[in-house]
Amino acid sequence: MITERIIMREIALRLKEPFRISSGTTFERRILLLELLDEEGTVAWAECVAGEHPNYSYETIDTAWLMIRDHVAPRVLGRELGHPTEAGPLLERDFRGHPMAKAAVEMGIWDLHARREGISLSRLIGGVRTAVETGISIGIHDSPGALVGEVADRLAEGYRKIKVKIMPGADLDFLRAVREEFGPDLPLMTDANSAYRASDSERLMAFDDLGLMMIEQPFAHDDLLEHARLQARLTTPICLDESITGPDRARDMLKLGSGRVVNIKPGRVGGFRASLAIHDICREAGIPVWCGGMLESGIGRGYNVALASLAGFTLPGDLSPSARYWERDIVLPEWRMSGDGMVTLPLDRPGIGVEVDTDRISSLTSRSEILSAG
Ligand code: OSB
Ligand code: MG
């Protein structure tokens, strides 16, 4: 298979509700989309998860745009690949960092391959599920009461896991209010997006009374050591997100004991090859994994849903349906969730299993660039 052309486009999609995490609030997603074409005329679409600001990662949509145009795409354009697993190593050789930029291209190549073969992306990667369990990630609210109200609505919609964003000043009271309202059986977890320091460890110890499924990323993205120190004292499992930028960091986490759960986001780790490797490393070690989200459009969501169909993804993912984020998505059909919190894999359709609404994308496009071989 040869990738002959990649068209880059930027679109903007306004979120129905602003999404607040410890490091900032997102009102609108500026999204970098890729349209890949092979030598037979097969077309695949992919999405870069980088945000507008360098708060979750150092990458932004603007750094990713340059990286893809000047460094990532030139490595794959016009090159014959026997299998999509060959793309990842090609993008790593003498090319540091920028996993989100690499992932967009690498994942597009996986989908292109699945579409050529006429099989679903899930089956191409060895997925074993026909539907995936869905949880919701709820942003920071102004008061515990407002949060409890949203949790009630989301449980009524069918979500199987509630993840509550926290930061110092909006943590224990908020989580306690939810636990008291919905009882000990509610599958509840929290995500701090690196908002705490080692000096907050005593406060974090108090989280053990909440019966949480896990605490996601309390400390800095590059601090596996303090995560290990905290995990040694804490009964609640620590889940790492920002810290796991590739298979090597997953191995370090295991060696150091920095956590007991991993949130895998293919866009964060450089793509599907790395995601599959992390999945396998964790499975071998008996570490549960689940698929995180980056407020993706229906295109990125399709990749996440396919990934979450692997056997090791044993916990509900942040895989909300289209209507949770957007008035209207850019894929057809839109992603839906059943009343009992399941998203069905479109296994009878090629690739990610949804078609792209190209007219709508055209009307939303603010810039585009065509990249070709040579
Ligand atoms: O930390 O998991 C995170 C969104 C943007 C950046 C980081 C995170 C998130 C989410 C949203 O939690 C998950 C979703 O896409 O629904
Ligand atoms: Mg997270």
Residue-wise pLDDT tens digits, 276-325 = 999 999 999 999 999 999 999 999 999 999 999 999 999 999 999 999 99
| CATH architecture of the region 3-118+354-366 | 2-Layer Sandwich (3.30)
- pLDDT value for 159: 98
| Mean pLDDT across 216-230 | 98
Backbone angles phi and psi of 39, in degrees to 5: -70, -15
Choose which residue among 21, 58, 138, 262 to substitute to test ligand 1 binding: the one with the highest number of ligand atoms within 8 A of its C-beta: 21
Q: Is the pLDDT of residue 374 over 90?
A: no
292 alpha carbon to ligand 1 midpoint, in Å? Answer: 7
Q: Ligand 1 pocket, 300 CB below 6 A?
A: no
pLDDT tens per residue across span 111-122: 999 999 999 999
| Mean pLDDT across 90-114 | 98
- Rounded Cα distance between 93 and 89, Å, is 6
User: Are the CB atoms for 224 and 244 separated by under 8 Å?
Assistant: no
Nearest protein Cα to ligand 1, atom 1? 193
On average, the pLDDT of the chain sits at 98
- Rounded Cα distance between 261 and 232, Å, is 14
pLDDT > 70 fraction of the chain, expressed in percent and rounded: 100
Q: Ligand 1 pocket, 56 CB below 6 A?
A: yes
Buried b (16+ CB within 10 A) or exposed e, 113-128: bbbbeeebbbbbbebe
Output DSSP code: residue 54.
Answer: T
pLDDT tens per residue across span 170-208: 999 999 999 999 999 999 999 999 999 999 999 999 999
- Domains 3-118+354-366 and 123-344 agree in fold: no
Nearest protein Cα to ligand 1, atom 8? 294
Q: How confident is the model at residue 22 (pLDDT cuts 50, 70, 90)?
A: very high
In residues, how long is the chain?
374
pLDDT tens per residue across span 117-152: 999 999 999 999 999 999 999 999 999 999 999 999
- pLDDT value for 228: 98
**Nearest in space to 137 (alpha carbons), one of 338, 325, 299, 333:** 325
48 alpha carbon to ligand 1 midpoint, in Å? Answer: 14
| Mean pLDDT across 314-339 | 98
Among 3.20.20.120, 3.40.50.300, 3.40.50.800, 3.40.50.720, what is the CATH number of 123-344? 3.20.20.120
Nearest protein Cα to ligand 1, atom 9? 294
- pLDDT value for 106: 98
The residues that are catalytic are 165, 265
Residue 333, preceding bond cis, omega within 30 degrees?
yes
Q: How confident is the model at residue 372 (pLDDT cuts 50, 70, 90)?
A: very high
Choose which residue among 47, 134, 137, 150 to substitute to test ligand 1 binding: the one with the highest number of ligand atoms within 8 A of its C-beta: 137
Helix (H, G, I), strand (E, B) or coil at 190: strand
Residue whose entry in the numeric block shows the structure tokens 């790593």: 92
Phi and psi based region of residue 182 (left: phi greater than 0; alpha: psi -120 to 50; beta: remaining) = alpha
293 alpha carbon to ligand 2 midpoint, in Å? Answer: 8
- List 31's β-bridge partners, or say none: 11
Q: What is the residue extent of each domain of the chain?
A: 3-118+354-366, 123-344
User: Are the CB atoms for 248 and 278 separated by under 8 Å?
Assistant: no
- Rounded Cα distance between 370 and 92, Å, is 23
| Mean pLDDT across 66-86 | 98
Task: Please report which ligand is nearest the Cα atom of 261.
Answer: 2
Q: Ligand 1 pocket, 47 CB below 6 A?
A: no
- Rounded Cα distance between 332 and 240, Å, is 33
The single-letter code of the amino acid at 90 is L
E strand or H helix at 7, and its extent?
Answer: strand 3-21
- Rounded Cα distance between 364 and 9, Å, is 9
Question: What does pTM read for this prediction?
Answer: 0.98
Phi and psi based region of residue 298 (left: phi greater than 0; alpha: psi -120 to 50; beta: remaining) = alpha
Q: Is the pLDDT of residue 60 over 90?
A: yes
pLDDT > 90 fraction of the chain, expressed in percent and rounded: 99
Q: Ligand 1 pocket, 241 CB below 6 A?
A: yes
